[in-house]
Structure 1
Amino acid sequence: MFVEGKVKSYIVERGFGFISMDGESKDLFFHIKDFPNKSVEPKIGENLKFRIVEDNGKFKADQIVRLDLKQNTAALESQPQRNSYTSNNVSSRFNERSGKGRIFTIIGLIIIAVLAVLVYNKYQDYKQAKQLKTQQLIQEQAQIVEQQRKALGDLPDQVLSEQGKRHLDNPSSQSLRTEVINVAAPTQAPVTTSQFKCDGRIHCSQMGSYEEAIFFIKNCPNTKMDGDHDGIPCEDQFGRH
């Protein structure tokens, strides 16, 4: 069976090119030796009529008729005829392979899309789990700090060391909770018969109240809480001016 197509490309130096056919995504190979008139080179866009045959496992054009040269149809009849059943069978196989190639391409795209969705969903689950864990740790640390404040009384934020503050901003483990407790513990005033007692603290940041600061500058040595020596310690901290 003859089909029609147009010359899509032709390499003069190598004597071959490709034919495009309506309704076919793949181009068909041809060689100049299969043209009836080899002295006239094919031109791009030239209309051809030909048979599709298989040569060494590949499809090619054979018995090519150059329609634009207006060759006599009798020349077509004079060419050796091949088994029509074989030609039809080869053309069917060519079309069948083209169809299978398109199907495999579509299936491949579907598989890629499904994998992309699965990976995205897994990433979202991981991200949500990580955020939930962080929120839980923050809540636990807030509870620990609240418990310590209740146990120690109202203390200024300066009592916590810089290391303790960094840990509170980035809670991560059970050992951290123990460290926060240990950092805050030294600020607790020992329980004695007197309300306050000299215990080595000398700075305003270590005082829990204005009354405590007054006691320290009056009764404890080497304090550094009354820089202007006016008898009023820690003015800025406790709002005493």
Structure 2
Amino acid sequence: MKQKGKLVRWNENRGFGFIKSPAIKGDLFIHISELKKMSRRPKVNDIIYFDHVTDDTGKKKAINARIEGVEEVIYRPRKKSKGRSFTSKLISLLIFGGLAFAVYATYPYWSQMFVKSLPVGFIDEDFTGYRCEGKKYCSEMTSCKEARFYLMNCPNVQIDGDNDGIPCESQWCN
């Protein structure tokens, strides 16, 4: 059966206090860890229900405690930190770097696979004088040859709507 007492002192910074109970001689020590299921922290003059034990040094302390009239919680979320720790940021950076290196290291393979899927004539064509200048759409191209150059060599182009390897079919390469 639980004992009943009043919290007579509480040190918020250190997380402990003392209970006065008519059933026990002297003050009884209580630590915040014994009230971890409470929805709020204890305050002086709270009525506390508890079990008590005597530790190895002969001191009495309260265990399995609860505050009268205060709701118990099953889960209390931890306080959110203001940001991720340096270690977690470093791990994320290393993972991202490893993935980026893996993509970079296999780029020749993927680009060759793309070139092999292009129609005959694309690979041997002379594209001297062309360079990637940030064009993305068929409306920005000036010829079918330029569109083929962009499709083979430039990133982020949107000039092969049906993905058949022939760019700008309705504007230049029909």
Q: Which has the larger radius of gyration?
A: 1
Q: Which has the higher helix share?
A: 1
Q: TM-score if structure 2 supplies the norm length?
A: 0.37
Q: Structure with the greater relative contact order (CA < 8 A, sep ≥ 6): 1 or 2?
A: 2
Q: Which has the higher strand share?
A: 2
